[in-house]
């Protein structure tokens, strides 16, 4: 069901000029998994308790620009601060197995009802399989349509060359509603979303 209340019908649907469409897969864990061994270089992982918003946005761009991550770039300072400074949000990417192991250990140490995240077809091609390997289970799909961040100025026109840029380059567009996070989050026991 689309947010407008119309059912999504079989077949192809044109995506408006200057927009992107992605299939979003929502994943969750409802019990701690048996963790596979972490691989990769030795590293020190530390939690940034109250990250500076400019620092966080630079990190988000550095990690996500190749995959057209944009939702957090479009958030106001207040929205971003509420999201990343919430104790149930686990932030960490780039070292794959080690970061996921650490994130899951930290998340499950809080005894949540579930740990959940989402990824989409704009993300790295291995992302979904990576999350499934770690024990997440897919439970829902959605189609996200959003303004292409390369056309709104949120990302440079050269970002994500694997995704064709369709539409004229223009100045900053009007504020665009954001979607949720694709980083693991925990849900305290007794709370439903």
Over residues 59-110, the pLDDT tens digits come to 888 888 898 988 889 999 999 988 887 655 444 444 577 788 888 988 999 9
Which pLDDT belongs to residue 60? 87
Which pLDDT belongs to residue 171? 46
Q: How far is CA 142 from CA 7, 27, 81, 132, 180, in A?
A: 12, 12, 26, 18, 12
3-state helix, strand, coil in the chain (%, to 5): 25, 15, 60
Region 106-132: mean pLDDT is 92
> Two tokens at 34?
């048996």
Farthest CA pair distance, the chain: 50
Region 165-175: mean pLDDT is 60
Residue 17's CB is within 10 A of a number of other CB atoms, namely 10
Listed by start position, the domains of the chain span 19-187
Q: Are strands 185-187 and 137-147 parallel, antiparallel or unpaired?
A: unpaired
> Two tokens at 113?
């009802």
């Amino acid at each position: 069901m689309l947010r407008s209340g119309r059912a999504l019908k079989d077949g192809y649907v044109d995506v408006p000029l200057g927009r992107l469409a992605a299939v979003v897969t929502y994943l969750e864990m409802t019990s701690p998994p048996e963790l596979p061994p972490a691989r990769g270089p030795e590293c020190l992982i530390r939690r940034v308790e109250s990250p500076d918003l400019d620092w966080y946005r630079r990190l988000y761009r550095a990690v996500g620009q190749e995959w057209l991550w944009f939702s957090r770039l479009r958030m106001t300072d207040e929205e971003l601060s509420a999201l990343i400074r919430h104790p149930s949000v686990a932030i960490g990417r780039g070292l794959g197995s080690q970061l996921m192991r650490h994130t899951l250990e930290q998340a499950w140490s809080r005894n949540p009802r579930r740990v959940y995240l989402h990824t989409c077809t704009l993300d790295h091609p291995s992302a979904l399989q990576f999350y499934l390997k770690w024990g997440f289970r897919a439970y829902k799909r959605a189609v996200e349509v959003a303004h292409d961040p390369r056309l709104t100025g949120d990302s440079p026109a050269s970002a994500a060359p694997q995704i064709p840029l369709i539409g004229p380059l223009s100045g900053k567009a009007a504020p665009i509603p954001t979607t949720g996070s694709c980083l693991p989050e925990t849900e305290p026991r007794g709370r439903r979303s």
